Amino acid sequence: MTDASRHLAIDAGQTGIRALLRSGENRENREKTFDFDGIRTDRHLVPQLSEVMARVAGAADVTIDTVSAGISGFTQSDADAAELCRLGSEFGVRQVFLAHDSITSYLGSLGDTLGAVIAVGTGVVTLAVGAQDVARIDGWGYLIADAGSGYWIGRAALDAVMRDYDGRGQATALTQAVRAEFPNLETVYLELQGDPSRVSRIASWSRAVTALAATDAVAAGICDAAAAELAHSVRTGLRRVGEDAGPAPVISGLGGVLRAPEIASRFEKDLREFWPAVNLRFPSANGLDGAALLPSLGAQSALRGLVAIARD
């Protein structure tokens, strides 16, 4: 990439899409950031990414040489990379690097080193990297997986509220919190089913869970269960790549859910039961930083083979 070239990095999550347009190789050169609505994993990804390219190119009035993206729900597809490169040619795009957002989350926090990274937002995915193997744990979507994610926590909250309402479950302060938005609890499911933003809307209830965890047993129990799921995913990933035997594996936690102390402290406690000296980090780097690093992965990197690449 020359000083005259422009690189567009994209972090495409379900809650929101962030994009970074950088001119030249150095951060001292001009950078612009952009924010868009989240990726829809039930729709074809390439047109959504193409729209991001078009909007950035139009807003900045520039051509773009390289596009690299970490994408929620992405399956490693050279065809998708080739299609995006073709669609981007009108904006000057000559090369495209696409990866699942677990790859870019990993790079953004630990770089090309050994360990495990768990990224917990609306969804959740863990990536563990060993000397020779890479293991992805979960990240299989809100319908069948994403244990411990924001959506998983929010859905557990709504489930607890409806159990309280029916008399099937324990009384919880979450009920009053939900009633503030949905006075008639019997119509909650209808409103959510008809809302195209229902995934992020349900995930938003994770904040009520953590806010009430100190005083409400049901909310505290949901936090405990979420943290246990997250720790279990990390342990599984490290075991699969042979990095679980040491006393202090390097583990990084990213995402809004782990910024809540009510989840992070429980998560750390669960991990330290297995590795008392675990090197646990909650870095400020993110998936957007990792997406920007995709083009620089070396040929020998275990992660390189998980990146779909296309050039004109």
Specify the pTM. Answer: 0.81
d(CA 11, CA 72): 8
Cα 250 from chain centroid? 19
Domains in the chain: ranges and CATH: 6-106+287-311 (3.30.420.40)
- For the chain (312 residues), the mean pLDDT of every run of 10, in chain order, is 72 91 66 91 90 91 92 85 95 95 91 92 93 91 96 98 98 98 97 95 98 98 98 98 92 94 98 96 85 90 91 91
DSSP calls for the chain: --TT-EEEEEEE-SSEEEEEEEESSSTTS-EEEEEEEPP-TTS-HHHHHHHHHHHHHHHHT---SEEEEEETT----HHHHHHHHHHHGGGT--EEEEEEHHHHHHHHHH-SSSEEEEEESSSEEEEEE-SS-EEEE----TTT--TTSHHHHHHHHHHHHHHHHHTSS---THHHHHHTT-SSGGGHHHHHHT-TTHHHHHHTTHHHHHHHTTT-HHHHHHHHHHHHHHHHHHHHHHHHTT-SSSSS-EEEEESSGGGSHHHHHHHHHHHHTT-TT-EEE--S--HHHHHHHGGG--TT-TTGGG-EEEE-
pLDDT at 219: 98
pLDDT at 25: 52
Question: What letters, b where the CB count within 10 A reaches 16 and e where it falls short, cover 192-215?
Answer: beeeeeebbebbbbbbbbbbbbee
The CB density around residue 302, as the number of other CB atoms within 10 Å, is: 16
